[in-house]
Amino acid sequence: MQFDLTEEHLMIQRAARDFAQNELKPGIIERDEHQKFPAEQIKKLGELGFMGMMVSPEYGGSGMDAISYSIVMEELSKIDASTSVVVSVNNSLVCYGLEKFGNQAQKQKYLVPLAQGDVIGAFCLSEPEAGSDATSQRTTAIDMGDHYLLNGTKNWITGGSTASTFIVIAQTDVAKKHRGINAFIVEKGWEGFTVGPKENKMGVRGSDTHSLMFNDVKVPKENRIGEDGFGFKFAMAALEGGRIGIASQALGIASGAYELSVQYAKERQAFGKALADLQAIQFKLADMATEIEAARLLCYRAAWLKDNHLPYAQAASMAKLFASETAMRTTIEAVQIHGGYGYVKEYHVERLMRDAKITQIYEGTSEIQRIVISRELLK
């Protein structure tokens, strides 16, 4: 087994780390406080090839592997999870789904600009009463012959106001249950498509999260992805890959909090010695580092399985479950190590703690991950 990153992976890691330090860190506190979308930073990430990392160069992507994607997500998330979640959605949910399941016309029209970072994509599954349950869709798409008539509400949509291309999951035939669900490509600005107010969130405040309303939106027949009734399988496949991205985001949040804690423990004096010389602090740092390393290996394993076209649903859920809980525990300890300074914004760890919580919720809660894992174990 090979545990070392390749030279290419290390180069990608350095590029992502430099970008995070030089482009994301300046202004991060202000963006968080004022819920400012990192538009300039996202544009530069597109120029670096990070908005379509795993997409084939044929469609404007970088042609990288999933391990590279995990590495980039970790490095960006150490500094700014609001930016990394936009990268995650565009890569894992939107670009992945379009490249794997879209037809050539859809790829040329929608995938190419998404992969190049010219526009941003959004994935619309969650509903007021459905969450991430793709089988309980209330949004409907009625077949009208040459088009579908889309009606319903989606909520908690990352990129709700900044995205231009939306993949919307909707029920076409209620009687068929999950076999009657379809996935559609919807463009911003279509008549009947309304973006609701921005959510005032606890964490990842720089990313824009909105509810979306569809009132008799006409969706051309050619904008359905796959055969009729393929939407449920599409959503499940997209979420599997998405969990690798969110696991890596959680890993990055934990890593960022840990690195800040090590630095602070070396510099801060208490009881006549550095915090780092106190055994209580040493034990906290040892536990943090151990859990982070375990989370990283789980993320890389899931990514490796995906790269090698092997089943990875269980591995992705394990990574997402463990990494998100590690992020929560690590950031809480980071605030504790910083003491009173950890409670103020300029030391960054309080933001990382707020950001960590969402990793336990989106792409399926920790409870959902346990269901997925246990189903695989009991097959």
Bridge partners of residue 214, in order along the sequence: 152, 193
Element (H, E) at 290: helix 279-307
Pairing of β 165-171 and β 121-124? parallel
**Distance between CA atoms of 181 and 334, rounded to whole angstroms?**
44
Q: Is 368 helix (H, G, I), strand (E, B) or coil?
A: helix
Q: Which amino acid makes up residue 264?
A: Y
How long a stretch of residues is the chain? 379
Given a contact cutoff of 8 angstroms between Cβ atoms, the answer to whether 245 and 319 are in contact is: no
Number of Cβ within a 10 Å radius of residue 69 = 28
Residue whose C-alpha is closest to residue 159's, from 85, 99, 55: 85
Q: Which amino acid makes up residue 311?
A: P
Bridge partners of residue 147, in order along the sequence: 220
Q: Could you confirm whether 7 is annotated as catalytic?
A: no
Q: Which amino acid makes up residue 241?
A: G
Catalytic residue selected from 259, 291, 363, 376: 363
Q: What angle do CA 256, 262, 266 make, to 5 degrees?
A: 150
Q: DSSP assignment of 184-241, as one string?
A: EEEETT-TTEEEEEEP--SS-TTS-EEEEEEEEEEEEGGGEESSTT-HHHHHHHHHHH
Residue whose C-alpha is closest to residue 88's, from 101, 102, 77: 77
Residue whose C-alpha is closest to residue 151's, from 163, 161, 137, 165: 137
Residue whose C-alpha is closest to residue 72's, from 85, 58, 59: 85
Q: Which positions are annotated as active-site residues?
A: 363
